[in-house]
Amino acid sequence: MNKVDWLDGAVFYEIYPQSFKDTNSDGIGDFAGIAEKLDYIKELGCTAIWMNPCYDSPFLDAGYDVRDYYLAAPRYGTNDDLKRLFGQVHERGMHILLDLVPGHTSWEHEWFRESCKAARNEYTDRYIWTDNTWEAPCGMNALIGISERVGACGVNFFSHQPALNYGYYKPDPAKPWQQSTDSEGAKATLEAMKDIMRFWLGMGCDGFRVDMAHSLVKNDEDGKGTIKLWQDVRAFLDREFPDAAMVSEWGEPDKSLLGGFHMDFLLHFGPSHYNDLFRCEKPFFGGNGDASEFVARYLESRRKAGADGLICIPSGNHDMVRLAKYLHGDELKMAFAFLLSMPGAPFIYYGDEIGMRYVEDIPSVEGGYERTGSRSPMQWDSTVNAGFSAAPRDRLYIPIDPADDRPTVEAQINVPGSLLGEVREMCRLRAEHKALQSRGDIEFICDGKPGEPLVYIRSCESGRVLVILNPTDKECTFALDEKISEPVYRVGKSAHGSAGGITAAPRSAGWYVM
């Protein structure tokens, strides 16, 4: 696998295009709005963008139900507009990943329409169909009675998202409709996905964040079939697009990185304990939580990932409640002091850098349900609709945060001590200190048990940085056989002490160059 050097110092900014910036007053964000705000993203200190799906879609699941992989969604702009955006990103020395959705399509996709026909055709085996209308694929929900074809079609998520066929790792001989991973149908699906990647990489995108990357091969308990599939993709990329970056939504770096991904997302569900830090009744950064199980799982994942494995820790994303639902004031700054000092490329979800809130009790939009409150429009300034759109308020894609004191970029951009100002400063320092970047090593000194700080040393061949995070309301002392200097960054008061014992002030965070 080719190394993509720019990932070593990358800080990503996740853009949910519907909600970022609307330039044509239709209430929905667009490519031109993203282009308009590229300088803001760069000045924040982000060097790369992950953009959620922007392909043609009926938008029953916010674009994760793709109708045409080769066509930009008209509500955002044209393919030419998207190609132009790639160029504008590159002009600023930045990179951009598209969101690849390989596991399913919309039921409006032409592939699926053709696969529903009784007569065999090129797309008959593009999806997972049983040979009995009354039998759903084992372990899956299904579409039943929707076509002239005899059989039921499995779905991956919502009922309008039929699952693409990449085969079964261990087909059941009693179920002849379960095709193997080397069947013609499964191989054709994989080749079709490679063609899609060729198209957008040829247009100028820098790679992909891959949705549900772990889910493609079915009956694949240990992930061996899916790993082999992605190794095939990696070989294709190394031949044709060696600089393409690949980031997986998998949550098991020992598997995704073996499959050829450069980085794996730390997921908010499953065994990671990621949300023990930010989103639970007693979050660690709220001052009375426990980070130790997160640390244990993180170290296990890092060990499995190997020396070159990178694990991404996001501030949030479009699938989880925002940081500011549970954390406030300096707690948010301490959370970012953690996020921006950990190995792997950090991902900042749009608006988290100003403390945008989770908007409660708004109707579901495009399959968002409880996630909709984290997808509200970006808050730029104090003008109409917080500067997101000049459309009438009732035409906005998602309602704006109605609070009079909603945070905005304008209110924080030049204000000392604002969350936005602090995030910018931390991004600047991360870029300045190689030890804080993606590939720097990490050694935990304290693992954040209840009532204790989270302390670790980041290191590389050119230096070391001690990170102390004490969100508790009491002084905490820990053993360290070195003196510390004044911090290059801090929240609250500096830690103090001499070799042997360091005391962290209550509600404080600091980065100390050693």
Give tens-digit pLDDT for 455-491. 999 999 999 999 999 999 999 999 998 889 999 999 9
- Give the span between the Cα atoms of 318 and 371, in whole angstroms: 7
DSSP 3-state assignment of 129?
Answer: strand
Give the 3-state secondary structure of residue 194: helix
Handedness of CA 212, 217, 222, 228 (dihedral sign): negative
pLDDT score for 500: 79
Q: Which domain holds residue 73?
A: 5-102+186-430
CATH number of the domain bearing residue 496: 2.60.40.1180
The CA-based angle 333-313-420, given to 5 degrees, is 30
- Answer with the one of 379, 399, 430 that is the final residue of a domain: 430
138 and 220 share one domain: no
Are 199 and 308 part of one and the same domain? yes
Q: How many residues does the chain have?
A: 514
DSSP letter for 163, please: B
Both 266 and 140 in one domain: the answer is no
Residues 344 and 218 in one domain: yes
Which of 188, 151, 182, 152 is closest to 167 using CA atoms?
182
User: What stretches of 402-502 show up as alpha helix (H) in DSSP?
Assistant: 409-412, 419-432
- The answer to whether position 30 is within a domain reads yes
Do 394 and 266 fall within a single domain? yes
Given a cut of 70, the residues of the chain with pLDDT beneath it are: none
Residue at a domain's end among 430, 463, 490 = 430
Name 339's Cβ contacts closer than 8 Å, sequence gap at least 6. 313, 314, 315, 346, 348
Measured CA to CA, the distance from residue 187 to residue 196 in angstroms comes to 15
In this prediction, residue 497 carries a pLDDT of 86
Maximum distance among all Cα pairs of the chain, rounded to whole angstroms: 79
Residue in the structure block whose two tokens are 């949910």: 16
- CB-hemisphere CA count at 13 Å for 477? 7
- β partners of residue 380: none
147 and 193 belong to one structural domain: no
pLDDT at 271: 81
Residue in the block written with tokens 């098991």: 252
Residue 82 counted as domain residue: yes
The answer as to whether 177 is a domain residue is no
Whether 283 and 299 share a structural domain: yes
| Assigned domain for 456 exists | yes
- 385-412 pLDDT, tens per residue? 999 999 999 999 999 999 999 999 999 9
Q: Cα(first)–Cα(last) distance of the chain, in Å? A: 34
Domain CATH code at residue 131: 3.90.400.10
* Spatial CB neighbours of 487, under 8 Å, sequence gap ≥ 6: 494, 495, 510, 511, 512
* Number of independent structural domains in the chain: 3
The answer to whether position 168 is within a domain reads: no
Sign of torsion over alpha carbons 336, 250, 42, 33? negative
Q: Compute how many other C-beta atoms are within 10 angstroms of the C-beta atom of residue 94.
A: 19
In 3D, which of 3, 2, 1 has the Cα closest to residue 439? 3
Q: Which structure tokens are listed for 203? A: 């247009």
In a domain, 179, yes or no: no
Whether 272 is covered by a domain: the verdict is yes
What does the block give as tokens for 108? Answer: 């409006």
Whether residues 35 and 68 share a domain: the answer is yes
Residues 98, 109 share a domain: no
**Within this chain, do residues 111 and 98 fall inside the same structural domain, yes or no?**
no
- Strand partners of residue 513: 465
Regarding whether 279 and 209 lie in a shared domain, the answer is yes
Tokens 């998202």 locate to: 161
* 418 within a domain of the structure (yes/no): yes
* Shared domain check, 146 and 93: no
